[in-house]
Chain A
Amino acid sequence: MKFLDHLEEWLIATLLGAATLVVFMAVLHRYLSGLDIPVMQDFLISLNTSWAQELCVIMGVWMAKFGAAYGVRTGIHVGVDVAINRLDARWRARFIVIGLLAGALFTATVGALGANMMLHTSPDQTSEVMELPMRYVYLCLPLGSWLMCFRFLQVLVAFMRTGELPQHDHAYVEGLDEEIADAGKGATP
């Protein structure tokens, strides 16, 4: 389980970082190859970076699918909770369970639809530039969705046991405590 958690975190962080670098490189390449420097210019022009956009998009989609599963675990997917927060604790808990089950149902269905689509994609069908087999590109749909389904069930079990839901803090700011401590010491505001 720990292993799966780490793999998930490692995967989405790496995909985002790599996608950023790929686009950065492509832009850099476009401008550097416009500079009139002998040898380097010829070499740069010989490199082809037309695949960059496609790779970036595919990495983005994979990040989105697995990141959504990670988000269930950290409670980042929010809903409209004004209504249920006004109910008494027992009914509120019931609606939370319904919500989590609905999440599991939806992601399980979507995972099955994705798997079905993947299997019906011809192995010859490839992406436009890099010619990756689309079949494997689509793999993120069933894998991501089923992982998300599993996460919903995990949160559900934890909620039944402890009555607690993961809470994401949308307003967390890194390094703020030190600044507040400094300001409190009477430094000029």
Chain B
Amino acid sequence: MNAAIIFILLILLMLTGMPISIALGLTVLSFLFLMTDVPIDAVALKLFSGIEKFEIMAIPFFILAGNFLTHGGVARRMINFATSMVGHWHGGLALAGVLACALFAAVSGSSPATVVAIGSIILPAMVRQGYPKAFGAGVITTSGALGILIPPSIVMVMYSVTTNTSVGQLFMAGVVPGLMLAFLLGLTTWYLARKHNYPRMPKASWSERWVTFRKSVWGLMLIVVVMGGIYSGKFTPTEAAAMSAVYAFFIAVFVYKDLKLSQIPKVLLDSASLSAMLLYIITNAMLFSFLMTSEQIPQAMAAWITGQGMGVVAFLLMTNIVLLVAGNFMEPSSIVLILAPILFPVAMTLGIDPVHFGILIVVNMEVGMCHPPVGLNLYVASGITKMGISELTVAVLPWLCTMLAFLVLVTFVPQISLWLPNLIYK
């Protein structure tokens, strides 16, 4: 009963279009105030202690690192490198788009920024080479979502702080599925390109490849700093994030010279404001999950679901559907923060591995960014291609189907996610 009131209240508040964080906070305040004897003073302390964790500070640092390298110049270097590697195959430039998206998204950490950065440079070139516009738009819209699966990933940090799962293990677990999905998206592109006989580019020589690699490697080293640091145990994830921010600053200002020192305050301000927004959702989501726990809703859900005789397969299927639906309305971080605390206890009762469950959620979020009606990547791509949402929906269909098939694979084959972390940590 209480659970129903809480959720209806939350949904009603959200539908008015107010910020998600405010809707969460108001739900908690009004429920505590009207329906329970829990002193609201407890709320105040939670607002502070909710984000008073060193682990959470990884989020602003990763955002800062990403923002230093979210630059047209970096995108161009990644595209050149990708083109020199795969340009001579069928649909060369489109394949290069997939690869460049994967690389840029991993470094910048933002899916919409990836779509814009890679898309604005590569799409006009594709059109000039004679590709249909819809083909290019489909490739870039879907590949741009790869970033949240390839570490460092902020959505994974969010999952880790709400469920106390190890960030290091999640990052490791993201590597194989990330590469696999990039490969599958590439394969789809290649198949379609061969079928329609889209242009190939002249094969680059190894010396050209070496030159483009050398130029893009400084940005790519960011992933190495993070993963190597965490893997070797030299840094904690938060320390790795701070190191990568300093590294990214150094590369952007002194090596690539994309940024002038005078632009640094603006990068800091933008990163601080984006992180503060996410941290504000985290605080209020923590309030919300405090309310859920005090009303024992996750336990009740777990009991209900096991009582229905729902097995692992049925539960995972249900989770996928719930997340895909939620993906229609909210962006990934909010979904993870609101739904993970509810679904996670059930998953644990059913004996699902926490890391596998996290990867499943992240892949879901990726799909959610590219499917209609309100996938963020679709909107951004619609902005740069001047194509309507319904037109784009048709355009992304082949890749979206690939992603959905991949989602099923990741859901029911835990080894894809767990193989690498198990190899390293066990």
Distance of B122 from chain A, by nearest CB (Å): 7
Convert A102-120 into 0s and 1s, putting 1 for each residue whose CB lies closer than 8 angstroms to a CB of B. 1101110110011011000
Chain A residue at smallest Cβ distance from B381: A171
Does the CB pair A64–B283 fall under 8 Å? yes
Bound together, the chains give a CA A95 to CA B19 distance in angstroms of 12
Pick from B18, B26, B275 the residue with the most CB of A within 10 Å: B18
Please tell me if B132 contacts chain A, counting CB pairs below 8 Å.
no
**B60 to A19, Cβ gap below 8 A?**
yes
Interchain CB contact under 8 A, A78 and B44:
no
Q: Which residue on chain A has the smallest CB distance to residue B57? A: A60
The CA of A76 and the CA of B259, in the complex, are separated in Å by 24
In the complex, are the beta carbons of A183 and B121 less than 8 A apart? yes
Given contacts A23-B61, A61-B48, contact A184 B117 (CB under 8 A): no
Check B376–A170 contact: CB distance below 8 A.
Answer: yes
Residues of B within 8 Å of A105, CB to CB, are: 26
Write the chain B residue with the least CB distance to A78. B19
**If A12-B276, A67-B277, A76-B277 touch, does A173 touch B52 (CB 8 Å cutoff)?**
no
Indicate the size class of the contact surface on chain A.
Answer: 35 or more
- Cα-based distance from A26 to B240 in the complex (angstroms): 12
What 1/0 mask marks residues of chain B from 363 to 386 whose CB sits below 8 Å from any chain A CB? 000000000011010001001000
The answer for the CA separation of A83 and B75 in the assembled complex, in Å, is 35
Which residues of chain A are near B93, meaning CB under 8 Å? 189
Q: A79-B18, A82-B374, A109-B29 are in contact. Are A12 and B72 (CB under 8 A)?
A: no
Question: How far apart are the CA atoms of A33 and B321 in the complex, in Å?
Answer: 52
User: Is B400 interfacial (CB-CB < 8 Å)?
Assistant: no
A138 in contact with B22 (CB, 8 Å) = no
Give the contacting residue for A20; candidates B54, B61, B113, B125; CB below 8 A: B61
Q: Which residues of B contact A81 (CB under 8 A)?
A: 17
Q: Which of A153-183 contact B (CB under 8 A)?
A: 170-180, 182-183
| B18 and A183 within 8 A (CB) | no
User: Most chain-B CB neighbours within 10 Å: which of A60, A81, A141, A174?
Assistant: A174
Q: How far is the CB of A167 from chain B (nearest CB, A)?
A: 12
Contacts of B283 in A (CB 8 A): 64
**Bound CA–CA A138/B383 (angstroms):** 43
Determine if A64 and B44 form an interchain contact, defined as CB atoms under 8 angstroms apart: no
Task: Give min CB distance, A81 to chain B, whole Å.
Answer: 4
**A42 in the interface (beta carbon within 8 A):** no
- Cβ of A146 within 8 Å of any chain B Cβ, yes or no, is no
Which A residue's beta carbon lies closest to that of B13? A102
Contact A138 B48 (CB under 8 A): yes
Q: Which of B407-421 contact A (CB under 8 A)?
A: none
Q: CB within 8 A of B329: which of A12, A82, A116, A189? A: A82
Bound CA–CA A95/B14 (angstroms): 11
Q: A56 within 8 Å of B by Cβ?
A: yes
Contacts of A40 in B (CB 8 A): none
Q: Is A17 at the interface (CB under 8 A from chain B)?
A: yes
Tell me, yes or no, whether B116 is within 8 Å of chain A by CB: yes
The answer to whether A20 and B115 touch across the interface, beta carbons within 8 angstroms, is: no
B13 CB contacts on chain A under 8 angstroms: 102
Residues 71-84 of chain A, each 1 if its beta carbon lies under 8 Å from chain B, else 0: 10010111111111
Q: Which B11-46 residues have C-beta < 8 A from chain A?
A: 13-23, 25-26, 29, 40-41, 43-45
Write the nearest CB–CB distance from A112 to chain B, whole angstroms: 9
Q: Bits for B144-160, please: 1 = Cβ < 8 Å to A, else 0.
A: 00000000000000000
Q: Which residues of B contact A109 (CB under 8 A)?
A: 29
With a cutoff of 8 Å between Cβ atoms, the chain A residues found around residue B48 in the complex are 61, 114, 138, 141
> Could you say which residues of chain B place their CB within 8 Å of the CB of A102?
13, 16, 18, 22-23, 26
Cβ contacts under 8 Å, A182 to chain B:
76
Question: Are B280 and A189 in contact (CB-based, < 8 A)?
Answer: no
Binding site for A on B (CB under 8 A): 13-23, 25-26, 29, 40-41, 43-45, 47-48, 51-54, 56-57, 60-61, 64, 70-73, 75-76, 79, 83, 93, 110, 112-113, 115-117, 120-122, 124-126, 128-129, 234-235, 238-239, 242-243, 245-246, 258-259, 263-265, 267-269, 271-277, 279-280, 283, 328-331, 373-374, 376, 380, 383
